[in-house]
Amino acid sequence: MERRDSQESTTLTKREFLRGFASVSGLSAVMAALDAWDMSIASAATAPPVLDGRADGTRVLILGAGIAGLTTAYELTERGYDCRIIEARSFAGGRCQTARNGFRLEEVGGESQECEFDEGQWFNTAAWRIPAHHKSLFHYCREFGIPMQTLISSNESTYLRYENIEGPLVGRRVRRREVMMDMRGYTSELLAKLAHQGALDGELTADDREQLIEYLVAEGYLDPIDLAYRGTTERGWAVDFAGPLEPGQPSEALALRELLQSGLGNTFRAVSSFERPYTMLQPVGGMDRIAAAFEERVGHLVTYNAEVRELRQNGQEVQVHYRDVPSGDLVTATGDYCVTTIPLAIMRDIPNDLSDRCKAAIGAATPSQVGKLALQMNRRFWEEDDAIFGGSSQTDLSGGSVIYPSHGFLGRKGIVQGYYVFGDTSDTVGAMGLAQRTERGLANGEKLHPGQFRSHYDGKSISVDWQRVPHSLGGWESWSDEARREHFPVLLEPQGRVYFAGAYLSYLTGWQAGAIESAWYQVERLHANAASV
């Protein structure tokens, strides 16, 4: 799972937010908010640390069999450590998790769901798309030979349909491609004409001006004679051709005025997000193929259904008291070291003897509120009727995106994501039961695919509200810049014999690569200490 929704699905909300924000805070606050939200980042890490020597028999208790815990166990075992993983769930992977037939999902205070999707259908409940620069995750995908495929994050062919806007585009379904083309066409025209009239002659040489106009003519499909934008077949056709003698009908551009009134153009950026570009990657068959590959190698080290209840240490060893869920017994495990990858939202309630500074750090991260709904459709109407393969369509309902699968193309059935909610909306939706959540998704999807979305839903859905999921209590942890500066140094240092690891302890908060790189960081430090003992 990554830190936030796709750029295109949050932007109108963001614009509205910023507009309100600007009215009370002035433009510089808007700028600061934009900066924080649009920060993309890449890591230099490509391979696990090279560890000198071995530490045969050194016992390490690893708390949590998510990606950070599995990475820790895999790397330490290679160097001779005697690793044991204590995992609260009945399976490995944590939020690297895929719902398919038989998958059970429980929520605190919510109903229990069992996934009834058809054989071969699946949905990634949390982590779902991987950017090209997450080299640390790819390290393991390569090492384990996990087949990967494209995840189409954005697709110009998808729809926008907004109701809470102004002008003639209210409630009208348009393709992103149309709006994007027309906005760039018109703005190219406006600038090209002004440049041609000399409005930029103070800033540009005559050569530069001509080069600029040439660029704008190409970018905006302008008429090179009068520099006007009059549409282009690249925005799509009004009527497709109907045979070798019936050439079809090009589409007409939307009017600039109605586009500006609608604000729909503000859902775009000059380039796709660096962190969530047009195309990303996913494992073939579900994100949990990554967890499964780790499990194949270190699964024998995991004690499942074991809820950590207390964490203690002395100068010699670490003691972890856990509840064996099937029996209800309280069991104690001991190790020379401990690496805890338990989410901080859980960790803060586990009795321990960590320092006050450490406890403060644990309490300072904010668990994110995020929820998803997956709907099984009995026909891939978005492919067959709308020529949409992957990407997402969007209404202005908060979190009201419809995300299409990037796999199983041209098959019969398919799983569509019916919403992707964050923050307060996630809270509100999470308070609903599955039936009500499903209805929210169907009603919204029907606006994007009228006459199709509801009628092709075949009654099988699954939804997750991550702040209600036991052993997670949040989608991921986020930090203010200030909290990060204050608390990272504490959590990165060993607390006696206890080390912290997890995506929250990296710049890639909420990404699997962050979990891996955090594990690498601590494995290197633990080994340096264990070797010197």
> Which of the residues 337 through 366 are near its own copies (CB under 8 A)?
none
Site for its own copies in 468-487 (CB under 8 A): none
Q: Tokens in use for 449?
A: 């695919």
Interatomic CA distance for residues 405 and 286, integer angstroms:
11
**Which residue's CB is nearer to its own copies, number 368 or number 406?**
406
Least distance from C-beta 2 to its own copies, angstroms?
Answer: 15
Site for its own copies in 13-32 (CB under 8 A): 15, 19, 22, 27-28, 30-31
How far is 16 from 396, CA to CA, in rounded Å? 11
Given the structure tokens 């991987």, which residue do they identify?
130
Minimum separation from the CB atom of position 25 to its own copies (A)? 11
CB 413, CB 428: distance < 8 Å? no
Cα(92)–Cα(115) distance, rounded to whole angstroms? 18
237-296 residues in contact with its own copies (CB under 8 A) are 237, 239-245, 247-248, 256-257, 260-261, 263, 265-266, 268-274, 277-279, 281
Q: Is 493 in the site for its own copies (CB under 8 A)?
A: no
**Rounded to whole angstroms, how far apart are CA atoms 367 and 345?**
7
The DSSP secondary structure of 98-116, one letter per residue, reads EEETT-EE--TTS--EE--
Identify which range of 232-240, 346-354, 393-401, 444-452 contacts its own copies by CB under 8 A.
232-240
* Residue in 108, 330, 387, 528 binding its own copies, rule: CB under 8 A: 387
Binding mask 43-62 for its own copies (x = CB under 8 A): xxxx----------------
Exactly one of 50, 225, 316, 356 binds its own copies (CB under 8 A); which one? 225
369: tokens are: 């509120």
CB of 435 to its own copies, least distance (A): 33
Q: Which stretch binds its own copies (CB under 8 A): 152-160, 289-297, 319-327, 345-353?
A: 152-160
Part of the chain binding its own copies (CB under 8 A), chosen from 86-94, 147-155, 293-301, 437-445: 147-155
Of these, 388, 416, 462, 513, which contacts its own copies (CB under 8 A)? Answer: 388
- Could you write out the DSSP letters of every residue in 364-413? HSEEPPEEEEEEEESS-HHHHTT---SSEEEESSTT-EEE--SSSTT-S-
The β-bridge relationship of strands 392-395 and 302-303 is: unpaired
- Contact region for its own copies (CB under 8 A) — 67-75, 342-350, 364-372, 499-507? 499-507
Question: CB-wise, 111 or 240, nearer to its own copies?
Answer: 240
Closer CB to its own copies, residue 226 or residue 296?
226
By residue count, the chain amounts to 533
CB of 404 to its own copies, least distance (A): 11
**One of 97, 340, 394, 406 touching its own copies (CB under 8 A):** 406
- The structure tokens listed for 338 are 């401990």
Binding test (CB under 8 A) with its own copies, winner from 76, 85, 86, 216: 216
Q: Which helix (H) or strand (E) holds 159?
A: strand 159-161
Q: How far apart are CA 465 and CA 373, in angstroms?
A: 9
Residue 36 engages its own copies in binding (rule: CB under 8 A): no
- For its own copies, the closer CB: 254 or 306: 254
Q: Does 38 engage in binding with its own copies (CB under 8 A)?
A: yes
Residues 6 or more apart whose CB falls under 8 angstroms from that of 96 comprise 66, 67, 126, 127, 287, 288, 290, 291, 512
Candidates 73-81, 102-110, 111-119, 205-213: pick the segment binding its own copies (CB under 8 A): 205-213
Residue with tokens 């923050």, as numbered in its chain: 423
The dihedrals phi and psi of 111, each to the nearest 5 degrees, come to -75, 160
Residue in 10, 188, 340, 426 binding its own copies, rule: CB under 8 A: 188
Instruction: Kindly state the DSSP code that residue 445 receives in the 8-state scheme.
Output: H
